[in-house]
Amino acid sequence: FDTGLLSGKTVFITAGPTREALDPVRYISNHSSGKMGYALAQAAVDAGARVKLISGPVNLPAPPRMERVQVQSAQDMLAAAMDGIDSCDIFIAAAAVADYRPTAVSEHKLKKGAEEIMELRLVKNPDIVASVAALPRKPFTVGFAAETRDLLSYARSKLERKNLDLIVANDVSQPGIGFNSDENAVTLVSRDAALVLPQTSKRQLASQLIRQIAELYNRAP
Ligand code: PMT
């Protein structure tokens, strides 16, 4: 592995799920373990980068030789992502951010009522990676697309809509890869090409992704 591939570069990486509170004891979230994002952060450090890892709540120790900022909600994650963004050269969004949050957080624990059906009202969360990609001085921005069908066409439309430089298409309908597993398989998609990276450990895959991202970043105008 070329340890100098990203030397002198600053990489921000989001990882893990977000938690959107309903009341003091309940939240909406998802099955992201943070393993993919943490492996990318490690691979970026190994390639010589200065790394800020912006992590939702996960059961992983803080990796060495990087700054980890721990957050809960999507709004917190956005604030942590924007803090110091002027110094960021490459932004990688591996987090599984909740698209919606409850419209209001109850101050006290919600009580069970007599009704059989309870309705939740949700409001859209800010899109972190799209906000970064909309900045006037935009870092080289890499998103993920977690899809259960039409993987490449949904990934391509997210690439366009969010103004990303690259997107990592992740089929999360396959058992043994994606959310909360130790292995993954993805397709790295740019505006004009697609590269299949077959199933392997998230560590291995992260090294391959960082190498590809660094090469495309260095080639970008
Ligand atoms: O954490 P692991 O258990 O290791 O699992 C890894 C993973 C499956 C979570 C990871 O590989 C992955 O696919 N992450 C993206 C999950 C996701 O929520 O994708 P999405 O298609 O909903 O979002 C598209 C992109 O926009 C992602 O880069 C996401 O981080 C970003 N996003 C989405 C919503 C939002 N409000 N803000 C964002 O930044």
Q: Is residue 164 classed as helix, strand or coil in its secondary structure? A: coil
Residue 2 confidence (pLDDT) = 63
Query: 58 vs 16, 54, 108, CA distance in Å?
Result: 6, 11, 25
The full DSSP string for 53-95 is EEE-S-S-PPPTTSEEEE--SHHHHHHHHHTTGGG-SEEEE--
The verdict on whether 170 is a catalytic residue reads no
Beta bridge partners of residue 93, listed in sequence order: 14, 143
Which of 118, 109, 143, 177 shows the shortest CA–CA distance to 40? 143
By most ligand atoms within 8 Å of CB, the mutation choice from 97, 170, 188 for ligand 1 is 97
Mean pLDDT, the chain cut into blocks of 10 residues (221 residues total):
85 98 97 98 97 98 97 98 98 98 96 92 98 98 97 97 98 94 97 96 98 94 75
Q: In whole angstroms, what is the distance from residue 52 CA to residue 71 CA?
A: 13
Q: Is residue 218 classed as helix, strand or coil in its secondary structure? A: helix
Residue 221 confidence (pLDDT) = 75
Q: In whole angstroms, what is the distance from residue 13 CA to residue 20 CA?
A: 20
Active-site annotation holder among 30, 125, 163, 170:
30
Q: In whole angstroms, what is the distance from residue 212 CA to residue 140 CA?
A: 13
Domains of the chain (ranges; CATH) run 10-109+117-219 (3.40.50.10300)
Question: What is the CB neighbour count within 10 angstroms for residue 28?
Answer: 16
Pairing of strands 183-189, 194-201: antiparallel
* Look-up of token digits 């003091």: 24
DSSP state of 178: S
Q: Could you tell me the distance, in angstroms and rounded to a whole number, from the CA of residue 111 to the centre of ligand 1?
A: 32
Q: Are 216 and 165 in contact, with CB atoms under 8 Å apart?
A: yes
60: burial class by Cβ within 10 Å (0-12, 13-18, 19+)? middle
Q: What are the structure tokens assigned to 100, written together?
A: 């919606």
Q: Does 99 appear as a known binding residue? A: yes
Which of 200, 140, 146 shows the shortest CA–CA distance to 173? 146
Q: At what angle do helices 35-46 and 202-219 cross, to 10 degrees?
A: 60
Structural element, H or E, at residue 126: none
Residue 4 confidence (pLDDT) = 87
| Complex ipTM tops 0.95 | yes
Residue 1 confidence (pLDDT) = 55
Pocket of ligand 1 (CB under 6 A): 14, 16, 32-36, 74, 93-97, 99, 125, 127-129, 143-146, 158, 170, 172, 178-180
